[in-house]
């Protein structure tokens, strides 16, 4: 399941243990072969163009050179040189950032972590070590086949853990098992101290760890603010013993994967509004932690009229077909258009590694935004949705709003226990605009911003009360032309945890070496 792929169709249609300062390279057994030595690719290197364009095509950087690092020691070396030469340095792992955190004119050095991959069980820490460049799909495969466990991360298998984890990544199993960052035990981060010395630090969630604040900051504080993550260790809080199979959640053997469509032509305005209200009402009634309905995960994807249809994707673990049937019946009530469902039962791992359409969105130009919702949407908000999806002043099929089920186990964690502050929501909202032609950049971006601002018109164009999700980064929250609320972006993304994140920033990155438009400011 991947919303990026459904948007691709629309875009194409338009176009046709204690913490320790460690000596890098001496931090434990290798996860995989160490690979090549440090690679530095400049503009004349044939690898440069590929490495330069691995992100959202809406943003294009021109770094002086790109480092391909395979070890922590190489990352330390790359950061040290960049700091010494006063070159702004950032990291890229999977390349799925929606904004210009990496591809920015001010960035002079990119540390590419895509070859820093591997998964192993670390018996000393009783935790699973995952290198930062490892994709979610490979992480799921190695954990499941090796030990019968998994992590409740995202549904796009080509996203890497490097940026996904510190943003509080979530996915189809999160209503049952929480966020991926809720299972984070330790993190290795390359930081730069006040004297400009680069070093690697391992920080854990152990109460006596002197660097516990650095671990905490990576449980929802977003990537790119504190240093470059090279490794993560995962163990579910409260898990006992040394048996690896008991230290992380076990995935279901099978899932019922579903896709449901509603053709636009079959929906009246009243039917559309009823569908949105029914979905929100179901989420309100079925998101309490531990209830059977939290086994169901769904994304109701509302597309522009030009796309031709709305779509819902999701899954139910195991053989609970009745849960899906009841859910669909409640959604259809009073809508007036018959839903068109397609279901298939798959082994869980097969489902977790699916990439519909064979593309993950990186051939597109993308703009996104997000918000949480504690209850059903208001009639005014639903009217704004309908208006912007049916506007006829714009030839744009590649625009949508996805309403995602949320809550469940996510809401069992205290807001201050991790850096993810938003722990009382029943839905997560995701706006996305996608296109292929650079000439459409201003219009594609403006459509989404107008939509988002109108939806939040009563709170200055942004979700002041509900908050937003940093992994769906939106630079508009830092732009006073679009955020007219008077509330800074950090409060919207991190809530009451912002002050604690600022203290961690001041301690571990006092010179603000690691920064971007939405990063933590000390």
Q: Do the beta carbons of residue 413 and residue 330 sit within 8 Å? A: no
Q: Is 455 helix (H, G, I), strand (E, B) or coil?
A: helix
The pLDDT assigned to 34 comes to 57
Using alpha carbons only, what angle is made at residue 157 by residues 151 and 160, rounded to the nearest 5 degrees? 75
Contact 126, 237 (CB under 8 A): no
pLDDT lower than 50: segments of the chain: 1, 7-33, 357-358
Place of tokens 């799909």: 137
In percent, the amount of the chain with pLDDT more than 70 equals 92
The confidence score (pLDDT) of residue 521 equals: 96
* Residue 364 confidence (pLDDT): 86
The closest alpha carbon to 17, from 149, 189, 215, belongs to 215
Cα angle 102-103-108, degrees, rounded to a multiple of 5: 80
CA torsion angle 221 370 276 395 (round to 10): -160
- Tokens found for residue 490: 């950090």
Report pLDDT for 467: 99
Pairing of strands 297-303, 254-263: unpaired
**Those residues with Cβ within 8 angstroms of residue 475's Cβ, 6 or more apart along the chain or in another chain:** 99, 100, 517, 518
pLDDT in tens, 143-179: 999 999 999 999 999 999 999 999 999 999 999 999 9
CA dist 84 and 140 (Å) reads 38
Residue 435 host element (H or E): strand 427-435
What's the pLDDT score for residue 135?
Answer: 98
pLDDT digits over 485-495, tens only? 999 999 999 99
Q: Where are the beta strands (DSSP E) in 318-410?
A: 340-347, 365-373, 399-405
Rounded Cα–Cα distance for residues 35 and 74 (Å): 11
Closest CA to 241 of 146, 126, 125: 126
pLDDT of residue 293: 98
Residue partners of 358: CB distance under 8 A and separation at least 6: none
Alpha helix locations (H) across 16-71?
48-52
Q: With contact defined as beta carbons under 8 Å apart, do 492 and 466 qualify?
A: no
Question: Considering only CA atoms, which of 235, 260, 223 is closest in space to residue 102?
Answer: 223
Tokens of 394: 């714009």
Q: What is the pLDDT of residue 359?
A: 53
d(CA 44, CA 244): 47
Name which of 385, 346, 335, 3 is nearest 159 in CA terms. Answer: 3
How far apart (Å, rounded) are the C-alpha atoms in residues 263 and 310?
A: 6
Q: Is 94 exposed, middle or buried (0-12, 13-18, 19+ CB in 10 A)?
A: buried
Report the pLDDT value the prediction gives residue 36, as an integer from 0 to 100.
75
β strands within 38-86, DSSP E: 39-41, 65-68
Closest CA to 434 of 10, 102, 149: 10
Q: At which residue do the structure tokens 């691995």 appear?
A: 54
Q: Residue count of the chain, please give it.
A: 522
Residue 160 vs residues 79, 153, 168, 379, 442: alpha-carbon distances, Å: 21, 10, 13, 38, 29
Alpha-helix residue ranges (DSSP H) falling in 293-332: 321-332
Rounded CA separation 466/491 (Å) = 11
What residue ranges define each of the domains in the chain, with the CATH number in brackets?
254-495 (3.40.462.20)
User: How many CA atoms, within 13 angstroms, populate the side-chain half-sphere of residue 399?
Assistant: 28
Instruction: Name 416's bridge partners.
Output: none
Cβ atoms 497, 417 nearer than 8 A: no
């Amino acid at each position: 399941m991947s919303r990026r792929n459904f948007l691709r169709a629309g875009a194409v249609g338009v176009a046709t243990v204690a913490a320790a300062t460690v000596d890098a390279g001496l931090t434990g057994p290798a996860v995989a072969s160490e690979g090549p030595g440090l690679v530095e690719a400049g503009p004349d290197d044939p690898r440069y163009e590929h490495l330069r364009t691995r992100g959202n095509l809406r943003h294009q950087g021109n770094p002086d050179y790109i480092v391909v690092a395979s070890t922590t020691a190489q990352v330390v070396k790359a950061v040290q040189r960049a700091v010494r030469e006063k070159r702004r340095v950032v990291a890229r792992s999977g390349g799925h950032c929606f904004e210009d955190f990496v591809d920015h004119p001010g960035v002079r050095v990119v540390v590419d972590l895509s070859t820093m991959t591997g998964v192993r069980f670390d018996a000393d820490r009783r935790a699973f070590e995952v290198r930062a460049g490892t994709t979610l799909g490979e992480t799921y495969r190695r954990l499941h086949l090796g030990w019968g466990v998994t992590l409740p991360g995202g549904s796009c298998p080509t996203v890497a853990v490097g940026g996904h984890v510190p943003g509080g990544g979530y996915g189809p199993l999160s209503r049952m098992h929480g966020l991926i960052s809720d299972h984070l035990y330790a993190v290795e981060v390359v930081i730069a101290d006040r004297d400009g010395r680069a070093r690697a630090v391992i920080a854990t969630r152990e109460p006596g760890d002197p660097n516990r604040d650095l671990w905490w900051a990576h449980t929802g504080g977003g990537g790119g603010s504190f240093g470059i993550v090279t490794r993560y260790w995962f163990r579910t809080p409260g898990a006992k013993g040394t048996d690896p199979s008991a230290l992380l959640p076990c995935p279901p053997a099978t899932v019922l994967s579903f896709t449901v469509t509603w053709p636009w032509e079959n929906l009246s305005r009243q039917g559309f509004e009823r569908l949105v209200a029914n979905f929100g009402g179901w989420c309100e009634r079925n998101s309490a932690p531990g209830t059977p309905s939290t086994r169901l995960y769904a994304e109701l994807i509302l597309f522009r009229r030009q796309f031709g249809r709305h779509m819902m994707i999701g899954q139910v673990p195991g053989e609970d077909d009745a849960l899906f049937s009841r859910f669909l019946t409640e959604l259809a009530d009073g809508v007036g258009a018959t839903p068109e469902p397609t279901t298939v039962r798959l082994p869980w791992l097969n489902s977790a590694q699916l990439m519909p359409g064979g593309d993950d969105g990186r051939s597109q130009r993308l703009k996104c935004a997000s918000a949480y919702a504690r209850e059903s949407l208001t009639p005014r908000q639903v009217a704004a949705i309908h208006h912007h999806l049916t506007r006829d002043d714009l030839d744009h099929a590649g625009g949508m709003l996805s309403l995602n089920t949320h809550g469940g186990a996510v809401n069992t964690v205290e807001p201050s226990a991790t850096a993810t502050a938003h722990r009382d929501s029943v839905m997560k909202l995701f706006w996305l605009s996608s296109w292929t032609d650079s000439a459409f950049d201003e219009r594609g971006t403006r459509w989404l911003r107008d939509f988002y601002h109108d939806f939040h018109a009563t709170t200055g164009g942004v979700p002041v009360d509900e908050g937003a999700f940093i992994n769906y980064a939106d630079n508009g929250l830092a732009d006073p032309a679009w955020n007219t609320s008077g509330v800074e972006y950090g409060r919207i993304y991190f809530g009451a945890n912002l002050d604690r994140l600022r203290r961690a920033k001041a301690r571990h990155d006092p010179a603000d070496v690691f920064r971007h438009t939405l990063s933590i400011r000390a």
